[in-house]
Amino acid sequence: MMRKHLLKTGLLILAVVLSIGGGAAKAESLAETMRFAVMRNGQQIGSHTIELRRNGPETTVQMVTHVEVKIAFVTVYRFDQTETERWVGGKLMALNAVTHDNGTVHRVTATRTNDKLAIEADGKLTQVAGNTIPASLWNPLLLEKTVAFNPQDGKIMPIAVTDRGEDHLVVQGRAKRARHYVINSTFPQDVWYDEARQLLKVELKGSDGSTIRYQLG
């Protein structure tokens, strides 16, 4: 069985920035949704969906992750997470995440006051610098950080990034030029972004040697 922290990385994932004009109907038609399949050794075990809306300086990202691992038709691990991030002028203003981790529930919120972020995780309040961001892979700003906070449990964790150079991927049947990075926090993850720095793919190794991959569906 995979250890729980290996599936929690879904958990870190994604979204793309787009321009959305004024008006509720127009925003609805232009909202971009990205759907990633969560794969383990080539078999789908879950999904990660991101919806991103941008209105002037404000960007809202909504993410839903579901992972379910079965052995002989019996569910041995289940993970569900919903997360919303609100950004204004490139600054995180608020975050709300609820995670059901195989029966354990975590609730994390973050709110901005001037140049500080107040992070409340399972009832425990912590204040951090206002430029601290969640470890969400959709956001290429993560590549420039040395610390970030985990949206699942609110903990601050170190970030180390290695640039592996240019790569080429086939995404949804099309060849894409990509930049390959390794992001090392509590464990290493290989990530690929396109030329617009939008996330294309995530890959990591499980403790049992299995390959976990997020791929666009």
pLDDT of residue 71: 87
pLDDT of residue 18: 27
All domains in the chain, ordered by first residue: 4-216 (2.50.20)
pLDDT of residue 32: 84
**Closest among 15, 9, 3, 62 to 203, alpha carbons compared:** 9
In the numeric block, which tokens belong to residue 127? Answer: 């204040």
Strand partners, 100: 80, 105
Classify residue 24 as left (phi > 0), alpha (psi -120 to 50) or beta. Answer: alpha
Cα distances from 101 to residues 4, 56, 215, in angstroms, run: 8, 35, 22
**Could you give the 3-state DSSP secondary structure of residue 12?**
helix
pLDDT of residue 216: 87
**Closest among 21, 37, 38 to 29, alpha carbons compared:** 21
pLDDT of residue 31: 81
Q: What's the CA gap between 119 and 110, in Å, rounded?
A: 4
Q: Per-residue pLDDT tens, the chain, 217 aa: give them.
A: 444 444 444 433 333 222 223 344 444 436 888 899 999 999 999 999 989 998 989 999 999 999 999 888 899 899 999 999 999 999 999 999 999 999 999 999 999 998 999 999 999 999 999 999 999 999 999 999 999 999 999 999 999 999 999 999 998 888 989 999 999 998 899 999 999 888 999 999 877 788 999 998 7
pLDDT of residue 172: 85
Cα distances from 83 to residues 15, 39, 63, 69, 138, in angstroms, run: 12, 21, 5, 21, 13
